[in-house]
Amino acid sequence: MVSGRRYFREVEVGGQRLWDLLARQPERPPADMETACAALDYLHMAVGLLEPYGRDYPLVEPRELVPSFDAPLIEYKHLPAFSMVLLDRPISYQDECFQFDLLLPEGHPPDPSRVAANRQLLRQRLPRDQVPELEQVIGRRSLTPFSRYAELLPFLARMDRGHVIARDEEGWFQLVGIFASFPSDLDGEIKRLGRRIGKFRKGDNESYAANRLFVYRFLMEQTGFPVCGERHTSAALFARRLMRRRERFLVKVLGHSDRTITALTSQGATQGLPRVEKVALVEARGCSEEGYRRLREGGFFVDRRRRVVLLRVRYTQHRYHPDNVLEERALSVQAQEVIHPQTGQVLEADVLGLGQDRLLLLNDIVRGEYPGCIVFRDQEQVCGTREIGKRLKFLLAWLRKHRHILADYSPDTFERVSRVLASFLNDPELADDLARYPELVAELKQTVGNLRHAHRLRLLEKLVHNRADASGRRLHHVHVLTILAHVLSQEGEHLAQHHPQLLAKLLTICRRELQHPYLKKRYLTRLPRTPAEREVVGEYKLLERLVNRFEGRLDAAGR
C-alpha cells in the first residue's frame, strides 16, 4: 500500500480517484497546474501529517498559526520534513535560478539505462541506511512519473534539501530534480525592502542597526514565517523571487520544528506577493459547543479523544505603509477550514479561537489560572501562569501577539481590558511579588501604554476613513475636525516628548482630513455664509495651525 493511502479514500481530483491518480499510472496524468496542486495537497497532508500522527504526536498549538508567529524552539527529527517547488513549465537546467540534481527524462516507455542512472542518483543523495528500503519499494521501476511520486515522498522527506516537479517535453508533470538548494539572498532582500519602505537610508548605519530586525521580521512574516531556520527562510525568499519573475509556481515546506505544511503559490496571489496557506494538526480547543458538535457529527476528528483536527489556515497579506497605526502588521488570518481525513470535505470553524472573548482569557491570565503555553521573546517557552514571574512573561508575550486585535477593539471593550490590566498591576496583595521583577513590570507598563496609544490612533484612523464613530453614528466634517483638534491639542505635547513616531502618525491622520477634496471645495473656495460654514472653517483653521505647529516640532527634532 502506498504510504498515506488509508486517508482521503473518497477524494476525487480532476475526475479521478485521488489514489488512482497517485498510486498507479492513470490514463491521463495531471495536465493542469490546479489538478496537480490539489493532488499534491492531499498527498502531503497524508504523508507529512496524518501518517506520523500518534498518541505522542506534538500537536501544533493554535497560537502558532496566528500572526505574529512565534519562533519554533524544538526540533522533532523523527517527523517528516521536506521542501518542494512545482513549476508550471519545462525545466531548462542551466538557465534555472537555483541548484538541483537533474533526473534524466525516462521516456515512454522508460529507457532502462536512464531509469538506472536516476536510481543511482537517488541512492547517492539518500542517507545510507534508507537505501535498502528504497530498493525494496522501487525495485527497477522508473522514478520520474507523477504516479510514482507518492511512493518516493517518504524518502524525499528524509533529505535535507528540496525536490522539483515540473512539466516534461510532452507537458505532463514529472519529478525532475532532487537535492535542490533554493536561493536565499537574505541580505539583499532585507536591504531592498528596508530602503523601499524608508527604514534604511544609504550611508546611515544607525538607522540600519535600529530597524534591521523590524524589516527582517516584516519580510519573513509577509511570507508566512517568523525569523527562523534556513529551510523556511530559503522557501520564503525563493517564492518572492519566483513572483518577481512572473512564474506560475507552488513552493511547499514542512519543517521538523513547526510540524506545519506551508504553501506559497502564485495562484490567487495579490500585491506581488505569493499567497500563503498553512496546514497542521491542532486541538480544536477554540471551537464553540456548536462548532464542536458539527465536527463530531461530521466525522472531522482525526483523534476524537484529543479533539485533533486537520486545519488549513488562509492568510491575508498587508503591505507596509509608515502611516499605518499598526505598521508592523504583515499578515492576518483570512479563513480557517477543517479538512475531513477521508472525504476531503472542508468545514469552516473557528479552531484558532479568534472569536473567543479575549477579556475572559486575560482575566484567567492575570489571576494565574491560565494553563496554556506561549513563547517569550522568541527564546523561552512559558507554560502556566500560577507563578508571578511566569505570569508577567506570559502577559507580555500575549499582549504583543494579540496587539493588532486588541488595538481594533471598541472603546468600551478596550476600557474593560485596561481595567483588568490596571487591577493586576495595582493590586496591593501582589505588590511584594511584583517588586521582585521590576524590569518585567516596567516593560509591561510600557507595553500597556503603547497599546493604549495605538488603540486611540486606530479609532481616529477609522473615524476619518469611515466618517463615523465607533458606534456607527455618521459624523459631519465639523465633528471630525473638532475631535482631531481636541486630541491633538490635548495629547500633542506628551506625544512630541515621549512618542514622536506616534505623533507623526496622528499628524498624518489629521493631514488626511485637512486634504479631503470635498471639504476643501465645499468650504474653503469662498467666504463662509452661514454660522455652520463659519464653524467648519474655524475648526479647519484651528486643526491646520496645530498640525503645522507639531510638524515643526518634529522637523526641529530631526524626525
Distance between CA atoms of 289 and 521, rounded to whole angstroms?
55
Domain boundaries, the chain: 1-56+75-277, 357-469, 476-559
Q: Is the pLDDT at 404 greater than 90, yes or no?
A: no
Cross-strand partners of 37: none
Q: Mean pLDDT, the chain, as a whole number?
A: 88
Mean pLDDT of 347-365: 83
Number of continuous H segments (helices) and E segments (strands) in the chain: 19, 14
Q: Is the pLDDT at 100 greater than 60, yes or no?
A: yes
Give percent of the chain with pLDDT exceeding 90: 42
Asked if 103 and 143 count as a contact pair (C-beta separation under 8 A), the reply is yes
Asked if 309 and 302 count as a contact pair (C-beta separation under 8 A), the reply is yes
**Confidence class of residue 26 from pLDDT cuts 50, 70 and 90?**
very low
> Model confidence over 170-184: pLDDT tens digits?
888 999 999 999 988
Contacts of 520 (CB under 8 A, 6+ apart): none
Distance between CA atoms of 316 and 225, rounded to whole angstroms?
13
Mean pLDDT of 539-553: 89
> Model confidence over 280-326: pLDDT tens digits?
999 988 788 888 899 999 999 999 999 999 999 999 988 887 777 77
Contacts of 47 (CB under 8 A, 6+ apart): 3, 4, 80, 150, 153, 154, 157
pLDDT at 25: 57
Mean pLDDT of 461-477: 82
Q: Is the pLDDT at 556 greater than 50, yes or no?
A: yes
**Confidence class of residue 234 from pLDDT cuts 50, 70 and 90?**
very high
CB neighbour class for 29 (10 Å; exposed up to 12, middle 13-18, buried from 19): buried
> Model confidence over 522-534: pLDDT tens digits?
888 888 888 888 8
pLDDT at 3: 64
The DSSP secondary structure of 429-463, one letter per residue, reads GGHHHHHT-HHHHHHHHHHHHHHHHHHHHHHHHHH
Least confident of 16-25, 67-76, 451-460: 16-25
pLDDT at 252: 97
pLDDT at 176: 94
> Model confidence over 38-94: pLDDT tens digits?
999 999 999 999 999 998 999 998 888 988 888 877 889 999 999 999 999 999 999
Grid cell digits, residue 486: 481636541
pLDDT at 303: 92
More confident residue, 356 or 321: 321
Write the DSSP symbol of residue 99.
E
**Confidence class of residue 403 from pLDDT cuts 50, 70 and 90?**
confident
Q: Is the pLDDT at 28 greater than 80, yes or no?
A: no
**Confidence class of residue 4 from pLDDT cuts 50, 70 and 90?**
low
pLDDT at 111: 86
